[in-house]
Amino acid sequence: MKAIKAILTVIILGFTVFIYYYLALPAINIHSSGFWWFMILALAVTSIAFGLIAFSDLGSRTSFSVSTRKKLFNIFAGITGALFAVFIILCIFSSPLVHAKRYQKLLTVVERNYTDDIKEISYKEIPVLDKDTAILLGSRKMGGMTEYVSQFEVQDNYTQINYNGTPVRVTPLRYGNIIKWLTNRKKGIPAYIKIDMTTQNVELVKLPQGMKYTQAEHFGRNIYRYLRFNYPTYIFDKINFEIDDNGTPFWICPVKKFTIGLFGGQTIGSVVTVNAITGELAEYGIEEVPSWIDKVFSAELLISLYDYHGTLKHGFWNSVFGQKDSLQTTDGYNYIAMEDDVWVYTGVTSVGADESNVGFVVMNQRTAETRFYSVAGAEEYSAMASAEGQVQHLGYKATFPLLLNVGGEPTYFIALKDAAGLVKKYSMVNVEQYQIVAIGDTIAECEKIYLNLVKASGLSDRESGDILEITGTIQKIADSVLDGNTHYYILLDSSDDIFDVSVNDLIDIIKYNEGDRITFSYIPGSHVNTVIEIR
């Protein structure tokens, strides 16, 4: 009888452990603090159980003597306390308090020249949406898809990636509820949403086969459980939804690597990819990650690594008290599409809560390459306040800036949104002199005003030759409406370039037809030249 009770007890305990593992999905890895807490709590519960048996009437019903029961309680309580003490000691010996120099060298930072790396781009390449606006547009798109809206919702991932050279945000759909999961799980999730961040075009991409492995699944097809059962010892960082160059959906799952002590010096050691449709798994070393993958290192991880680099130059205690030569990132970040990768941008300021930057860094989310640019000027929130001040009568709110090279000047580009979250105007604020603020209904108009302000301020060293002039015969005129404003795109016989004329700014363009002779002053762009004057 006692043997049967013992066996049942073991089975119940084993089942309880399995249920916990199935739901919590802890990594079986000594580098995981969660695994240590699981062991500490399990031993603590066992100690409490023996304590109840040892010091209550329950103990008299067992075959163990009082002294034996007390010994067992003391043993398990001692092991629990010892394990907790070891855990705390290991945490301390894995921290910057002990290893400041090693933490400071986790990230290699190279100082570069701003204008060499960040080239001027056409305003048609500027991503004008932030995540909040993308969520709003995605929800509106889903509301118009009658064949899906009754069964599915839009998940709020909205990962920013470069897709065939274009900055986009992508997010999968999810089941509306558990009942809708039951009725649709056989076919899977049929589509994802892709938003072009430059044109604001929202596309519901329908898949030939549904996605079977997602965050919205349950049981074995849930992406987290699927990963854990295939990689029981891996400690995953935040996973991301991306698409490859063919539009196939994948989950990108970075694997944490700890390089200092047992719990410190976190970085990324490898990447696991999961085909969201088939569940096919692949693993890549950090040097082997395919170029179509954009987000391996999270923005939060890269920023924390740079903060270690900037604050621990003279040791841990200097970072707390003297703070000599200590630099830290500003509060907030954005993304820059550069060299076919996504880079995290944030300002760098001295430790001390001032309102100016000593420069800024860009950090590659695929490789962790980090570049520092020494450009002193206003920090981002000061620039946002300057932009909002120009439209305070309208109540528009500024998005976190995007750093651009406009006319050779480091410039904050800011979208201004109304109370509904829709972009209504655009602003450009000079980094070095944030009193130079331009506001426009279109990006082209904003750029034109900004360049005139920069030129008038005497800040820019651009020569007049940088604003070019051309004369030719109009070979072709095509019109288009952008952001509610009409633009004429013109081809001349004297150039292979395309010239963009805003009708709002240059109304005289309507007097011209194909075959007419015309002279432009224009600002050269990478794809399209912006006309600023007709002569």
Report the DSSP beta bridge partners of residue 437: 429
Q: Is 324 helix (H, G, I), strand (E, B) or coil?
A: coil
Report the DSSP beta bridge partners of residue 406: 409
> Is the pLDDT confidence value at 32 over 70?
yes
Residue 478 sits at φ, ψ, to 5 deg, of -130, 140
CA 350/CA 359 separation, integer angstroms:
10
Better-predicted residue by pLDDT, 474 or 120: 474
CA 94/CA 70 separation, integer angstroms:
36
pTM above 0.85, yes or no: no
CA 457/CA 109 separation, integer angstroms:
33
CA 469/CA 519 separation, integer angstroms:
7
Confidence band for 208, pLDDT divided at 50, 70 and 90: very high
The residue type at 68: T
Terminal Cα-to-Cα distance of the chain (whole angstroms): 104
Confidence band for 113, pLDDT divided at 50, 70 and 90: confident
> Is the pLDDT confidence value at 73 over 90?
no
Centre a 10 Å sphere on the Cβ of residue 315 and count the other Cβ atoms it contains.
16
Contact 43, 76 (CB under 8 A): yes
Residues in the chain: 535
The residue type at 53: I
Whole-number pLDDT of residue 297: 96
Read off the pLDDT of each residue in 265-269 and give the average, rounded to a whole number.
94
Confidence band for 6, pLDDT divided at 50, 70 and 90: low
For residue 135, give both structure tokens: 């969520």
The residue type at 447: E
Confidence band for 464, pLDDT divided at 50, 70 and 90: very low
User: Which residue's entry shows tokens 């550069």?
Assistant: 338
CA 157/CA 148 separation, integer angstroms:
19
Read off the pLDDT of each residue in 33-60 and give the average, rounded to a whole number.
70
Centre a 10 Å sphere on the Cβ of residue 72 and count the other Cβ atoms it contains.
18
